[in-house]
């Protein structure tokens, strides 16, 4: 079924795009949540106009995430945590702590975009992947130390 997206849907389509999707996906997910409408000549015309404007500004927006990605690569975040005698941190370094630390550098990243499977519980140097935008993933270096 051909649909026109009325909003951006992650890994599926962007606003104003016309795409072929499976009928069940359109009927059970996209249409009830008003994420897309059935593609008709009038709906294509109505919903593709904002997409053309967005396409022009897209090149401007792409430079910003790539600048953030470059800034992240050059950063080293240092965390000092209390640890037990084995060197395991009582409270690990979590996605939220990393996101809060990035805010100190005027980088606003949601914690869900920080790709950390579990909290960092030991001292050392780590590289953590951060999703800056839809297709832009960068890494930030995280250094953890024991609190003496």
According to CATH, where is 3.40.5.10 located in the chain? 2-61
Does domain 2-61 fall into CATH 3.40.50.720? no
Question: What would the DSSP string read from start to end of 92-128?
Answer: EE-HHHHHHHHHTTT----GGGEE-SS-EEESEEEEE
| CA–CA distances in Å: residue 140 to residues 9, 25, 41, 83 | 27, 36, 46, 23
Q: Is 11 helix (H, G, I), strand (E, B) or coil?
A: coil
According to CATH, where is 3.10.430.100 located in the chain? 75-146
- Mean per-residue pLDDT, 5-10: 86
Q: Which residues contact 83 (CB under 8 A, 6 or more apart)?
A: 89, 90, 123, 146, 147
Res. 62: pLDDT tops 50: no
- Mean per-residue pLDDT, 11-38: 90
For the domain with range 75-146, which CATH number is right: 3.30.70.20, 2.40.40.20, 1.10.357.20, 3.10.430.100?
Answer: 3.10.430.100
CB 87 within 8 A of CB 120: no
Indicate the pTM of the whole model.
0.57
Average pLDDT, the chain: 85
How is residue 86 annotated by DSSP?
T
Q: Which two tokens stand for residue 112?
A: 């869900």
């Amino acid at each position: 079924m051909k649909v026109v997206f009325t909003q951006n849907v992650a890994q599926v389509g962007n606003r104003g795009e016309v795409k072929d999707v499976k009928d069940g996906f359109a009927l059970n997910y996209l249409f009830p949540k008003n994420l897309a409408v059935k593609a008709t000549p009038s709906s294509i015309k109505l919903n593709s106009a904002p997409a053309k404007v967005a396409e022009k500004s897209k090149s401007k927006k792409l430079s910003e995430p790539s600048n953030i990605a470059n800034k992240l690569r050059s950063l080293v975040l240092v965390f000092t945590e209390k640890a037990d005698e084995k060197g395991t941190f009582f409270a690990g370094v979590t996605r939220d702590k990393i996101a809060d630390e990035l805010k100190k550098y005027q980088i606003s990243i949601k914690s869900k975009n920080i790709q950390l499977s579990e909290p960092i519980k030991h001292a050392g140097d780590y590289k953590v992947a951060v999703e800056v935008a839809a297709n832009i993933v960068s890494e930030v270096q995280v250094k953890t130390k024991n609190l003496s």
